[in-house]
Amino acid sequence: MDTVQLAGQTEAALEQWARERGASPGAARGLARALLAEFAQRSILQQPSAALVAEAKSAFASALPPADAIVDPDGTVRFAVRLLDGVVIETVAIHQPQSETRKSERWTICVSSQAGCARGCVFCETGRLGLVRNLSAAEIVSQYALAARHLGQRPRNVVFMGMGEPLDNLEEVLRAIEVLREPSGFAVPERRITVSTVGIVPRLDELYARTRAQVAVSLHAIEPRARLALLPVARKWPLEELRRAIARAPRTVLLQWTLIAGVNDSDDDADGLVQFAQGLDVRVNLIPLNPGPAADQRAPPLDRCRAFQKRLAGAGLRTLLRMPHGQGIGGACGQLAGARRTAMANRH
């Protein structure tokens, strides 16, 4: 029988487990909260019965997977996480220092939702691997837990922008969000969690309905042929269909645009994006490309990136130009390059 991982358990699930063993409602709730608090390395307000704790500890495994951490010069930490079956995935703790506009430093944990990915976006390291397997909710939450322990704090921001397309593993991603937001556990505010998708149109409505997490959609190009050349998924769900799905969102949607020199960084591209966004409740994240598998693709010079941003902002589009954090760490899903390819290749 597979061991049940504590990292994948919500308070309700733990409570039910205790109730099934005869605990009163109050004792069951106390146990669930104590287990979540201990796993999140928080103080336990009320000690549950020792016998119940002992039984829970033999039923739920709480060890985290081993991980190697590499610290980039700007403080960003990349973790190569080795899962129980030997699969290696990548997690990143992105560091944003204190600044004039930021009162205190900020950490964002970028988690993977799959090992590899089936979607094959051309600029993406993960896309080259193909799909190895989906991650369980416990494996997703464990990535956050080990980053939090490494940093000695519980970061309030989580992005599903690591390896994998989260909407291809939606149930486990939603379960992981439930666990991450548990008030007695990690207590990550749900609205500070961002799920980034390449645009799996039929699953967007379900995502909107089942979580208050922010949704980010990778757009990257408006012109159909240019978009298809970057994102094979565009063949299945053309832009108009994607636009209608974005228009149905109950909250602001982030549009991700990876800037690639000579591919999608012209004034015409910016104007196309402005036109696409008209009438939509959206913000734009511009991310200069990290070096990836396509050797001939690179980020535009900084002044071109700024000119692109200015053109969008001048047309009234809320736009942020996000500079990459750390060597090989990007802001769009699957752009976390670096150790991943080597690590994954090492499996074979």
- Pick the piece of the chain touching ligand SF4 (CB under 6 A) from 21-29, 121-129, 208-216, 290-298: 121-129
- The DSSP H or E segment spanning 65 is none
Residue 227 binding ligand SF4, by CB under 6 A: no
- In the complex, the smallest distance separating the C-beta of residue 337 from ligand SF4, rounded to whole angstroms, is 11
Three-class DSSP category at 67: strand
Closer by beta carbon to ligand SF4, 14 or else 198: 198
Closer by beta carbon to ligand SF4, 6 or else 158: 158
> Which residue, chain included where needed, has tokens 């910016």?
270
- The DSSP H or E segment spanning 249 is none
240 carries an active-site annotation: no
Residue 220 binding ligand SF4, by CB under 6 A: no
Label residue 69 left, alpha or beta by phi (over 0 means left) and psi (-120 to 50 means alpha): beta
- In the complex, the smallest distance separating the C-beta of residue 164 from ligand SF4, rounded to whole angstroms, is 5
> Rounded to an integer, what distance in angstroms lies between the CA atom of residue 186 and that of residue 253?
25
Residue 120 binding ligand SF4, by CB under 6 A: yes
- In the complex, the smallest distance separating the C-beta of residue 344 from ligand SF4, rounded to whole angstroms, is 12
Closer by beta carbon to ligand SF4, 164 or else 324: 164
CA torsion, ordered 90, 113, 213, 63, to nearest 10 deg: -70
Binding mask 152-181 for ligand SF4 (x = CB under 6 A): -----------xxx----------------
Please count the residues of this chain forming the interface with ligand SF4, following the rule CB under 6 A: 13
> Rounded to an integer, what distance in angstroms lies between the CA atom of residue 266 and that of residue 223?
12
DSSP alpha helix (H) spans, the chain: 11-20, 25-39, 50-59, 125-129, 137-151, 170-181, 201-210, 224-230, 239-247, 267-277, 302-314, 339-345
The single-letter DSSP state of residue 183 is T
Residue 121 binding ligand SF4, by CB under 6 A: yes
Residue 124 binding ligand SF4, by CB under 6 A: yes
- In the complex, the smallest distance separating the C-beta of residue 341 from ligand SF4, rounded to whole angstroms, is 12
Residue 311 binding ligand SF4, by CB under 6 A: no
Q: What are the backbone dihedrals phi and psi of residue 4, each rounded to the nearest 5 degrees, phi first?
A: -85, 130
90 carries an active-site annotation: yes
Strands 319-321 and 282-288: parallel
- In the complex, the smallest distance separating the C-beta of residue 224 from ligand SF4, rounded to whole angstroms, is 18
Full DSSP string of 107-121 = EEEE--SEEE-SS--
Active-site choice (11, 15, 90, 182): 90
Among 6, 117, 204, 312, binds ligand SF4 (CB under 6 A): 117
Among 5, 126, 136, 290, binds ligand SF4 (CB under 6 A): 126
Closer by beta carbon to ligand SF4, 171 or else 281: 171
Residue 127 binding ligand SF4, by CB under 6 A: yes
Active-site choice (110, 117, 124, 333): 333
Closer by beta carbon to ligand SF4, 124 or else 132: 124
Residue 199 binding ligand SF4, by CB under 6 A: no
> Rounded to an integer, what distance in angstroms lies between the CA atom of residue 317 and that of residue 157?
24
Lookup: tokens for 242: 């994607």
Residue 119 binding ligand SF4, by CB under 6 A: yes
Nearest residue to 5 via CA among 138, 103, 102, 94: 138
Number of Cβ atoms within 10 Å of the Cβ of 50: 8
Interface with ligand SF4 (CB under 6 A)? 117, 119-121, 124, 126-127, 163-165, 198, 333-334
Query: Catalytic positions, please?
Result: 90, 333
